[in-house]
Copies of this chain bind each other. A is one copy, B any other.
Amino acid sequence: MIPKKSKYAIQALKCLAKVYPDQGKLSIAQIAAEENISRKFLEAILLQLRHNGIVGSKMGPNGGYYLLQSPDEIVLSNIIRSTGGPIALLPCVSLNFYEPCEDCPHEELCGLHDVLLEVREASVRILSKTSLSDLINREKKLSKKNKNK
């Protein structure tokens, strides 16, 4: 499971992506209201995203946050990792939260390790080819599909 932090980060970035081209900038308060996220918690999240080079910010009146890359360059795997969310099912197969199993003499001989590597690769494959733009497009399609009913 990924933490709420990662989920909120994705939601917030989706908001920023929607206003991207026109020097799109939104304040914490605006995003928090739009997505029903605790204002203070979101503040911490956006700060972290800034430290990870995903968003930029401007202080003062009329300030706010904005994307540093185009919405189709920002992919889910990157967002999840930048906010401390693990993708792998065990630390021993995690890229960013790697920790060896105690008493596993040879990781390379462990069958479970081997299978869970495959699982991680399958997950990352999907998450790293899905960008913010893709997310938005998906929602457009889903909404069309739903109207036809």
- The interface on chain A, measured as residues whose beta carbon lies within 8 A of the other chain's beta carbons, has a size of 44
- Chain B nearest Cβ from A109, distance in angstroms: 5
Confirm or deny: A55 has a beta carbon within 8 angstroms of a beta carbon on chain B: no
The residue that A110 contacts in the complex, of B85, B88, B103, B139, with Cβ under 8 A, is B139
Closest to A145 in B: B108
The yes or no answer to A89 lying at the interface (CB within 8 A) is: yes
A19 lies within 8 A of chain B by Cβ: no
Q: In the complex, what residues of B have CB within 8 A of residue A123's CB?
A: 89, 119, 122-123
* Residues of A participating in the B interface, judged by any CB pair closer than 8 Å: 1-2, 7, 10-11, 14, 35-36, 76, 85-91, 101-103, 106, 108-112, 114-115, 118-119, 122-123, 125-127, 130, 134-139, 142-143, 146
